[in-house]
Chains A and B, each alone.
Chain A
Amino acid sequence: MLPSLVQDDLPWLQSLRATGDAQASAVRTLRALLVRALASALRHRAEVDASQVEDFAQDALLHILRRLDDFEGRSKFTTWAIAIAIDTAMSQLRRRHWQNISLDALMAQGAELAPLLHSTAEPPDTEDQRRLLSLLRDSISRHLTDRQRAAIAGQLQGLSVEELASALRTTPGGLYKLIHDARRALKKHLLASGITASQIRTAFAP
Chain B
Amino acid sequence: MKLHRHLHLRPLLEAVALTRDSEFDCAACSRHVAELADSLKSPSTPLSRELDLTRHHLAICQQCHDDFQMLQRAVAGIRE
- Find out whether the CB atom of A187 lies under 8 angstroms from the CB atom of B17: yes
Chain B interface residue bracket vs A: 35 or more
In the complex with contacts A75-B38, A120-B7, A157-B3, A82-B17 CB distance below 8 A: no
Which of these, B5, B13, B30, B38, contacts A204 with CB under 8 Å?
B13
B47 contacts the other chain (Cβ, under 8 Å)?
no
Nearest B residue to A105 via CB reads B1
Known contacts A74-B35, A79-B34; 5 additional CB pairs below 8 A are A116-B7, A117-B9, A156-B7, A157-B3, A205-B10
- CB A136 to nearest CB in B, in angstroms, measures 7
Q: How far is the CA of A42 from the CA of B70 in the complex (A)?
A: 7
Going nearest first, the 4 A-B pairs with the smallest beta carbon separation are: A40-B77, A201-B17, A75-B34, A176-B25
A177 contacts the other chain (Cβ, under 8 Å)?
yes
- Find out whether the CB atom of A201 lies under 8 angstroms from the CB atom of B74: no
A133 contacts the other chain (Cβ, under 8 Å)?
yes
Q: How far is the CA of A90 from the CA of B68 in the complex (A)?
A: 11
- Find out whether the CB atom of A82 lies under 8 angstroms from the CB atom of B10: no
Q: How far is the CA of A167 from the CA of B77 in the complex (A)?
A: 36
Q: 8 Å CB contacts to B: which residues of A155-171?
A: 156-158, 160-161
- CB A80 to nearest CB in B, in angstroms, measures 4
Nearest A residue to B13 via CB reads A200
Collect the chain A residues with CB atoms within 8 Å of residue B79's CB: 1, 6
Question: Which of A40, A119, A157, A203: most chain B Cβ within 10 A?
Answer: A40
Question: Scoring B residues 47 to 80 as 1 if CB is less than 8 Å from chain A, else 0, what string do you get?
Answer: 0000000000000011100010011011111111
Collect the chain A residues with CB atoms within 8 Å of residue B18's CB: 197, 201
- Find out whether the CB atom of B78 lies under 8 angstroms from the CB atom of A2: yes
Q: How far is the CA of A33 from the CA of B74 in the complex (A)?
A: 10
What are 16 A-B interface contacts by the 8 Å CB criterion?
Answer: A40-B74, A40-B80, A41-B70, A41-B71, A79-B35, A86-B70, A101-B1, A112-B3, A119-B6, A161-B26, A172-B25, A173-B25, A183-B16, A186-B19, A197-B18, A201-B17
